[in-house]
Structure 1
Amino acid sequence: MSKKPVIVIGGGIGGLAGALAAAEAGQETMVLEQAPQFGEIGAGIQMGPNAMSVLDRFGVAEEISKYAVFPQRLVLKDVYTAKELSVLDLGDEFKEKYGFPYIVLHRSDLHRVLYEACKKNPLISLVNGQTIETVEENETGVIVTNQLGDEFTGKAVIGADGLWSKTRKYFSDDEAVCSHYVAYRGAVPIEEIGHDANMDDVIMWIGPNQHVVQYPVRKGELYNQVVVFKSQNYKPDSDDWGTPEEMDQVFKGCHPLVENALSFIQRQIRWPMFDREPIENWTKGNFTLLGDAAHPMLQYLAQGGCQALEDASYLADMLKLHGENFGQAFLAYQEERIPRASKVQKSARLWGEIIHAENPVSILLRNTLFEKKEAKEFEMIDWLYGYKKLPAKI
């Protein structure tokens, strides 16, 4: 780097998008990633049109489409009867209304495309093996110190180090909130799951305190499945809850297609589901937060990665607008993004309560309302997928 860079802490989806945003604004940028190499774990990820517009802006949508699947419908089904409770049509009218399609793909494919875009960008450098311990600002710049005591001095810092962020501690002493739910994930070759694979739909099987999500990824070569349930054996600071054995018990008696799905789920890795409460400030001087470090959310709206991309896009606008005045750019960025991301965080929690309802009256009311909704009725999702925020004028 020929001069002090903008430093991005974290090389996940949000961090790489943040680097592309800073580079688009003409800033030399350094990404510091904790892992020994850049990569992404997990399985599938869903990208709504609000995220696709950002990927298009950063010039990677065409490359991503090579690995993506373009589903025709989002479908909610009863986990016991397989009855379709609600459908959202993702076809031509949806794409025309929101300007971009809804896609599903493997997280590693999305991450790799963003990584390659960063790697090709002459303004971006990528550094591995960096566990960041402290961030401090003084008259020389913003100083980031790693686990070995090595210092990196930048003109600004973006903390994009995820749910368990170390950079968030500079803005809040809050703790991550465990939902008592766990997830088990896996992507299996299509030929293994056979005729049970639905290639046109994203399916969410819902029931009391449980759901299963299924959709194809990697151009239909793999079938992504996520099994989620609330553990009645939750114990803080313990791994002895939400076990595969409890999963089998919770889903006992479900529809045969669901029971078959469970037989393909990888049981070695258990993913406890956490979020955090929204906070009122992400910015201190030339230091701000982005993505899950700023607003970690539950997965029920499939918006975690999408909101990180929205952050990056608006941040790019504010960096262009305010030039070298990073403090002002970051304040303007959070003024727009905090209310938006906080609403999505809260809505994800609420949606989780709706789909996991266990009270018979609540279930009847929910299903009755679902059945009245038309597949091409977009009013309820307009706020989410129709978000288009233009930068303010000077």
Structure 2
Amino acid sequence: MSGADTHTDVVVVGGGIAGLAGALALSRNGQRVTLLEKADEFGEVGAGLQMAPNASRVLDRWGLLNQVREVGFSPRHLVFRDALTGQELTRQSFGRAFEERYGAPYVVVHRSDLHTILLDACRDAGVTLINATVITGTRTEAGRGVATADDGREYAGHLLIGADGLDSTLRAQIAADPPVVSGYVAYRGTVPITRDTASGDLHDVVVHLGPECHLVQYPLRQGDLLNTVAVYRSASFERGEEQLVGSDELQAAYVGCVPAVHRALSNLRTGFRWPMYDREPTDTWRDGRMLLLGDAAHPMLQYLAQGACQAMEDAAALERVTAGVDLADESRVDAALSTFVAERAPRTARVQRTARVWGDVWHVGGVGRVLRNKLFSSRADGDLEVADWLYGGQPAVGL
């Protein structure tokens, strides 16, 4: 191990939200953390994120929730509508009763804004941030995790965390399973809210459900921006085309939907789309001193809006199980990591599987659509029976 270029307590691979959250959590335990990011500069692409109470509780504990609320938006309701008729199917209010029930609010925030807040918090905590570093291999050696960069430099720590997303370099060496193709793609876009913007739902998260498609809209940045996400089953994606020139397929996917949906399609950036993958749930998250976090461990479809939220939960749980642990003590680290995986893997597996089912429910047509609409319409605002497991506190991991 004397040949490693950098020695530290923890090496984190990946500078997205999961990596920053993990780095911040461990630095709060007094660990020396080095974070490696392949991009030349730190930053995030994409649009809005929904921070449900299970994630905003973590932000609150870290003293970051007020910052997120200042740059985000607090929606009044979550509203589901039928995309073919415009009929409201059900709604959930996010008022005082909701916040008191879960001990934290439901907040929406631009992905880049949350990323900036976490990045600044990592800097303030003394995390060493290194850009333009592409990791090509990892290993455990002499009780340390070692990451090797494409320029030959090596970074060694008592703990090596892979938070490098769906196509994780560490995942390939730990679990070695392929991503699962969903057949669906997402287009995203944000536009300024002006006096000409339709004002009916500008205080809510609104989801239009259509056969093999849906569309989500909500405000961002204190109501200055309107975030739009369109998801549909893509024949071109199923043929193996990650990207597609033009928007004909997108437009065709929403034929028959109400005018509000068609107007919203004009808000999208159609030059790039996000093909949607996940992986089969697994509890193979670690190998020696190497540990997976966030989408590297449990990539999930977006229907529960829990990808970033579960990454935040991961970080909070890792902070808890390693508190007071000397990372040079191999037996204690083994025990802490085993506890972490045993607690987190079943929960994230449930979220992954439920997200798949939720997507199927959203996208049914024919008789299935009629039955879904009837079921949704029978639900009263404030009935949180199906949400408690997801948004409620998780005593086992101190969330």
| TM-score interval (norm. to shorter) | over 0.9
Q: What residue in structure 1 maps to residue 354 of structure 2?
A: 347
Preserved contact between residue 216 and residue 222 of structure 1 (Cα < 8 Å): yes
> Among residues 50, 71, 74, which one is paired with 1:70 in the alignment?
74
1:313 partnered with 2:285: no
Instruction: Quote how far apart the aligned CAs of 1:234 are.
Output: 3.5
Q: What residue in structure 2 maps to residue 38 of structure 1?
A: 42
Q: How does 1:132-211 map to 2 (within 5 A)?
A: 132-139=135-142, 141-191=144-194, 194-196=197-199, 198-211=201-214
Q: What residue in structure 2 maps to residue 269 of structure 1?
A: 272
Letter of the structure 2 residue corresponding to residue 368 of structure 1:
K
Matches of 2:272 and 2:195 in 1, distance apart? 21
Instruction: Quote how far apart the aligned CAs of 1:192 are.
Output: 7.3
> Which of 49-58 and 2-11 deviates more?
2-11
Instruction: Quote how far apart the aligned CAs of 1:72 are.
Output: 0.9
Matches of 1:113 and 1:241 in 2, distance apart? 33
Q: Unmatched 5+ residue regions in structure 1?
A: none
Structure 1 pair 245–289 and aligned structure 2 pair: CA distance change class (3 A): same
Preserved contact between residue 72 and residue 90 of structure 1 (Cα < 8 Å): yes
Instruction: Quote how far apart the aligned CAs of 1:210 are.
Output: 0.4
Matches of 1:252 and 1:233 in 2, distance apart? 17
Structure 1 pair 273–32 and aligned structure 2 pair: CA distance change class (3 A): same
Letter of the structure 2 residue corresponding to residue 98 of structure 1:
Y
> Among residues 257, 276, 292, which one is paired with 2:295 in the alignment?
292
Q: What residue in structure 1 maps to residue 32 of structure 2?
A: 28
Matches of 2:113 and 2:165 in 1, distance apart? 19
Preserved contact between residue 300 and residue 351 of structure 1 (Cα < 8 Å): yes
Q: What residue in structure 2 maps to residue 335 of structure 1?
A: 342
Structure 1 pair 139–175 and aligned structure 2 pair: CA distance change class (3 A): same
Structure 1 pair 29–94 and aligned structure 2 pair: CA distance change class (3 A): same
Q: Residue 361 of structure 1: SS of its match in structure 2?
A: helix
Letter of the structure 1 residue corresponding to residue 381 of structure 2:
A
Q: Kindly report the root-mean-square deviation, in angstroms, between the aligned alpha carbons of the 2 structures.
A: 1.8
> Among residues 336, 345, 368, which one is paired with 1:362 in the alignment?
368
> Among residues 75, 95, 98, which one is paired with 1:91 in the alignment?
95
Q: Residue 295 of structure 1: SS of its match in structure 2?
A: coil
Q: What residue in structure 1 maps to residue 104 of structure 2?
A: 100
Instruction: Quote how far apart the aligned CAs of 1:319 are.
Output: 0.5
Instruction: Quote how far apart the aligned CAs of 1:90 are.
Output: 1.1
Partner deviation per Cα, 1:76-105 (whole Å, 9 max, x = no partner): 001121110111111111101001010111
Partner deviation per Cα, 1:235-276 (whole Å, 9 max, x = no partner): 454246696211111112311111111122111111111111
Partner deviation per Cα, 1:164-199 (whole Å, 9 max, x = no partner): 111101222211111111111000000176124622
Q: Residue 195 of structure 1: SS of its match in structure 2?
A: coil
1:372 partnered with 2:371: no
Partner deviation per Cα, 1:61-81 (whole Å, 9 max, x = no partner): 111111111011100001121
Instruction: Quote how far apart the aligned CAs of 1:363 are.
Output: 1.4
Instruction: Quote how far apart the aligned CAs of 1:227 are.
Output: 0.7
Instruction: Quote how far apart the aligned CAs of 1:3 are.
Output: 5.7
Preserved contact between residue 197 and residue 223 of structure 1 (Cα < 8 Å): no
Q: What residue in structure 2 maps to residue 58 of structure 1?
A: 62
> Which of 166-175 and 193-202 deviates more?
193-202
> Which of 187-196 and 243-252 deviates more?
187-196
Preserved contact between residue 231 and residue 241 of structure 1 (Cα < 8 Å): no
Structure 1 pair 26–240 and aligned structure 2 pair: CA distance change class (3 A): closer
Q: Residue 167 of structure 1: SS of its match in structure 2?
A: helix
Give the structure-1-normalised TM-score: 0.95
Preserved contact between residue 6 and residue 156 of structure 2 (Cα < 8 Å): no
Partner deviation per Cα, 1:321-355 (whole Å, 9 max, x = no partner): 54423222111101000000000000000000001
Identity of aligned residues (%): 43
Give the structure-2-normalised TM-score: 0.94
Structure 1 pair 111–162 and aligned structure 2 pair: CA distance change class (3 A): same
Q: Unmatched 5+ residue regions in structure 2?
A: none
Structure 1 pair 134–106 and aligned structure 2 pair: CA distance change class (3 A): same
Letter of the structure 2 residue corresponding to residue 381 of structure 1:
A
> Which of 361-370 and 241-250 deviates more?
241-250
Matches of 1:64 and 1:28 in 2, distance apart? 26
Instruction: Quote how far apart the aligned CAs of 1:141 are.
Output: 2.2
Matches of 2:171 and 2:82 in 1, distance apart? 39
Instruction: Quote how far apart the aligned CAs of 1:127 are.
Output: 0.5
Matches of 2:240 and 2:259 in 1, distance apart? 35
Number of matched pairs: 390
Q: Residue 285 of structure 2: SS of its match in structure 1?
A: coil
> Which of 322-331 and 36-45 deviates more?
322-331
Instruction: Quote how far apart the aligned CAs of 1:368 are.
Output: 1.1
Letter of the structure 2 residue corresponding to residue 247 of structure 1:
L
Partner deviation per Cα, 1:107-144 (whole Å, 9 max, x = no partner): 0000000000001112x111001111111111162211
Matches of 2:195 and 2:309 in 1, distance apart? 30
